Amino acid sequence: MVTGAVGSVPRLVVAAPSSGSGKTTVATGLMAALSARGFAVSPHKVGPDYIDPGYHALATGRVGRNLDAYLCGAGLVAPLFAHGARGCDIAVVEGVMGLFDGAAGEGELASTAQVAKLLRAPVVLVVDASAQARSVAALVHGFVSWDPEVRVGGVILNKVASDRHEELLREALDSVGVPVMGVLRRAAQVETPSRHLGLVPVAERSAVAVEAVSAMAAQVGSGCDLSALVALARSAGPLAGAAWDAGEALVSSPPPPLPSPTLGFARAGEPPSTPGASPPDPHRPFGPRPHTPDGLRSTPDGHPVVAVAGGAAFTFSYAEHAELLVAAGARVVTFDPMRDEELPEGTSGVVIGGGFPEVYASELSANEALRKRIAELAALGTPVAAECAGLLYLCRELDGMPMCGVLDASARMSERLTLGYRDAVAVGDSVLAPAGTRMRGHEFHRTVVEPGAGSSPAWGLRTPERRVEGFVEGGVHASYLHTHWASAPGVARRFVERCRTS
């Protein structure tokens, strides 16, 4: 599954006692400041978040990559890190939430602390000091001593009010024995606009995003001891093992065709399934495959074209997904559902990931030609994989505006935030997985789809409650669940094979 030595890329983890302390400002600013000084910086983000990696990519010129021990398993964290850090001088890893916060009820799983330990990386703790003075010593002491396997090697004080405030904070921290490696004053210009799911993605902000990253770099460059931070990164311990490689992952990690257990999944308003009922047959035929229309075949070299949605409305995607599709033999081409009236020439499969279609519903609806084309392909059995935003786009309507109409369902904005990790099992066969395949995913949205599942659901969710979710219709797999295909590379292989044969 992995190839090539991990090596000892200098690395550090930017963490904090809690969300809102300034991790993104410090991590992104540090990445940009080091890049400006000639370092090849590898950017990483703990957890499933898609938005911060966009800012990281803007700061470094390299793809931002996620490290998620829940989605991918602890064993893949170091190999995926090494894959992203190939050829780099230093790596900066932005943490998630508070240092020790992870998957609910799962101990340290998916926490910044766990990732720091898996990477043998030192931690620099970003502390919001705006409403404290001497108490900062007790706070930092607690984080330093809580887990002796986590090495907090430095502190960066954020939102410091004045020289006198800084003096009090430094004096208090002298007794803790952790060096202060930076002091950042309050600066409104480095704050980044947000909306209902967090920061506004880089793709939507263009020049404003560039200005924000430049401001972060300037603040970190002037307020932090970059030499000390680089020295801390160079103190990271060596990593054993090898770097992840998409091609090797496909060869050595076939998807296990597990039988689907009886889990008592139920749709809203329906009773749970009867205990002891026969599970779906994992070898059940996928169903009739319609003939592929002219112009929708593999390229002359035998590589099927997979059209991947992009643009401002669809910005959420893990880089490893496209890499796995390419390794499985596909030619990946991006299209913008807001602007492109036709899919890429030769399209034989469509992937529509996450994003904010609810913000751009009118523009997406106005592109009637593309909506109809996607509906036509779906009706012909063309493989279509849609996650979250993609699910909304395939619905009949979104907030009353016409969408693709592939699914007989409507979507609308909601005040309720749905957020959290999910343990899922494929209820039936689909273009992504055979029945019984178990995967872990993540939900993050403020929308509602009605009904929430079709007659053939995509997933049976085991956490936080047992229910079915999503739609499998012909070649379409649509769900709210974000998954990381590095955890199950066979998903990409299966999808590309369906593109060749549908």
Instruction: Show which residues are catalytic.
Output: 388
Q: If you count DSSP H runs as helices and E runs as strands, how many of each does the chain have, helices first?
A: 16, 24
Structure tokens belonging to residue 282: 């994992």
**Length, in residues, of the chain:** 502
Tally of CA atoms within 13 A in the half-sphere of 478 that contains its CB: 28
DSSP state of 280: P
Looking at residue 274, its amino acid is T
Is residue 211 helix, strand or coil?
A: helix
Structure tokens belonging to residue 484: 């990381």
Contacts of residue 197, Cβ cutoff 8 Å, sequence gap at least 6: 51, 356, 444, 445, 446
Distance CA 407, CA 43 (A): 37
Q: How many CB atoms lie within 10 A of CB 444?
A: 18
Structure tokens belonging to residue 9: 């890329």
187 burial type by CB count under 10 A (0-12 exposed, 13-18 middle, 19+ buried):
middle
Is residue 145 helix, strand or coil?
A: helix
Q: What is the distance of C-alpha 221 from the center of its chain?
A: 28
Report the largest interatomic distance among the alpha carbons of the chain, rounded to a whole angstrom. Answer: 75
Cα R_g (the chain), whole angstroms: 23
Distance CA 351, CA 331 (A): 12
Distance CA 62, CA 65 (A): 9
> Of 126, 132, 82, whose CA–CA distance to 238 is shortest?
82
Spatial contact of 488 and 255, defined as CB atoms under 8 Å apart: yes
Q: Which residues pair with 305 in a beta bridge?
A: 331, 347
Distance CA 194, CA 402 (A): 27
Look up tokens 């703990």; give the residue. 46
Which DSSP string corresponds to 484-496? -GGG-THHHHHHH
Assign residue 423 a region: left if phi > 0, alpha if psi is -120 to 50, beta otherwise? beta
Distance CA 170, CA 421 (A): 39
Contacts of residue 271, Cβ cutoff 8 Å, sequence gap at least 6: none
Q: What is the distance of C-alpha 137 from the center of its chain?
A: 34
Look up tokens 């943490």; give the residue. 95
Look up tokens 């592939």; give the residue. 406
